[in-house]
Amino acid sequence: MKIQTGIILIVLLAGCTSLTAVNRFSADTVTLADSIDRIAADTGASCLRRLALDVPIKGVTDEKRKQYADICSQLKQSSDLFIELNSTTRGYARALGQLADNKRVLIGFLKEYGQEVRDLRKQIQSSF
């Protein structure tokens, strides 16, 4: 009964959304997540590069340099955590795209073989 309900819902909801738009959203979200990861991955290193220039140019003291280095380290840890969390977004987007593909396949199957499935169901029911 659950499978039948699921199939009915998929058929009824098939026209409610554009599967092409869902696939495009999925691909765009994965691309964006990848880009954000590259930026986040460089954040800590960028901080250290700036610090390397600030020391000789601005005459930053050793104590101040250590404070800035600690900030860079914290920034790197935050960026690493953000990248880890961003993988959830990427996974969700990929799953959404896969569901849209599966829905498209199921709808195509039902359009092509729907009558045969209904006839088979009637035969099975009549045999009991």
Mean pLDDT of 86-114: 77
Angle CA 87–102–85, to nearest 5: 10
Q: What is the pLDDT of residue 12?
A: 47
Indicate if the pLDDT at residue 5 is higher than 60.
Answer: no
Residue 27 contacts residue 97 (beta carbons within 8 Å): yes
- From 6, 19, 3, select the one nearest 108 (Cα to Cα): 19
Q: What is the pLDDT of residue 128?
A: 64
Q: What is the pLDDT of residues 26-79, one digit of tens each?
A: 899 999 999 999 999 999 899 999 888 887 777 778 888 899 899 999 999 999
Q: What is the pLDDT of residue 113?
A: 65
Q: What is the pLDDT of residues 115-128, one digit of tens each?
A: 776 776 777 777 76
